[in-house]
Amino acid sequence: MLEIENLNVNYGGIQALQGIDLTVNEGEIVTLVGANGAGKSTTLRAISRLVSPRSGKIFYQGQNITKLRPDQVVCMGIAQSPEGRRVLARQTVLTNLELGAYTRSDKFGIKADIERQFQIFPRLGERRQQLAGTLSGGEQQMLAIARAVMSRPKLLLLDEPSLGLAPQIVREIFGVIANLHAMGVTILLVEQNAHLALQTADRGYVLEAGQVAIAGAASDLLEDDRVRKAYLG
């Protein structure tokens, strides 16, 4: 479904990604593991076209998307729930969800999908007219995921969904991720909690200093001594 070839991304004079190669097959959950600054979020932002690669190629369903605009990427079936939630704080929960479907024109389908999100996240349904900026951190994370799903993506990019959340909320969020996967959504997950990410994923890539250091089945990475010492404690 997704294939990245020799991807290089610079931020000013800093090379954030150095020759990244990775694949995500349809129906998988693939996770990117690594320390802060390893290039995990940059990889997602490059896929979403929020940053432009210096070189390399990104293919989605066989089509080169390396030079597309972000809105074109969304229309093709890729959506991202960004690090730090980034909900529209001065808009209501309902408006945030409606804006998540901005590429769609099926009015009744959008309405049905909003109600479906309120079933998945009952707390959002209870707060549908509440300003997003007044929600708790966990509720904002739920909203960020629900907003991304409103575009009906085939590939969902999740950037640090557990960051700063209480353990109970993290369990809820990862329960939703499992449900989305069961519904047929392919997921590329960036997550600081390496143990939880690898327990959830089918495969994983360990990034170090902008490069892929280790790759393999998530179950194998959980047992890899290098991964255990560096990221699993």
Q: How far apart, in whole angstroms, are the C-alpha atoms of residue 136 and residue 209?
A: 33
Q: Which residue has the tokens 């690669």?
A: 53
Q: How far apart, in whole angstroms, are the C-alpha atoms of residue 203 and residue 60?
A: 18
Where do the domains of the chain lie, and which CATH numbers do they carry?
2-232 (3.40.50.300)
Q: How far apart, in whole angstroms, are the C-alpha atoms of residue 95 and residue 91?
A: 6
What pLDDT shows up at residue 119? 92
Token pair, residue 49, equals: 């076209």
Name 65's Cβ contacts closer than 8 Å, sequence gap at least 6.
47, 49, 58, 59, 72, 73, 76
- What are the CB-based long-range contacts (under 8 Å, 24+) for 115-119? 117/146, 117/149, 117/150
Its pTM stands at 0.91
What pLDDT shows up at residue 13? 80
Q: How far apart, in whole angstroms, are the C-alpha atoms of residue 212 and residue 43?
A: 11
Torsion angle in degrees (nearest 10) through CA of 137, 139, 143, 144? 20
CB 139 within 8 A of CB 96: no
CB 158 within 8 A of CB 190: yes
Q: How far apart, in whole angstroms, are the C-alpha atoms of residue 233 and residue 228?
A: 6
* Rounded average pLDDT per 10-residue block, the chain, 233 residues: 96 90 97 92 95 95 95 94 85 95 92 94 93 92 93 94 87 90 94 90 95 96 91 77
Q: Which ranges of 56-121 would DSSP assign to H, the alpha helix?
A: 70-76, 93-100, 107-120
Q: How far apart, in whole angstroms, are the C-alpha atoms of residue 157 and residue 186?
A: 9
The values of phi and psi at residue 30, to 5°, are -115, 135
What pLDDT shows up at residue 116? 92
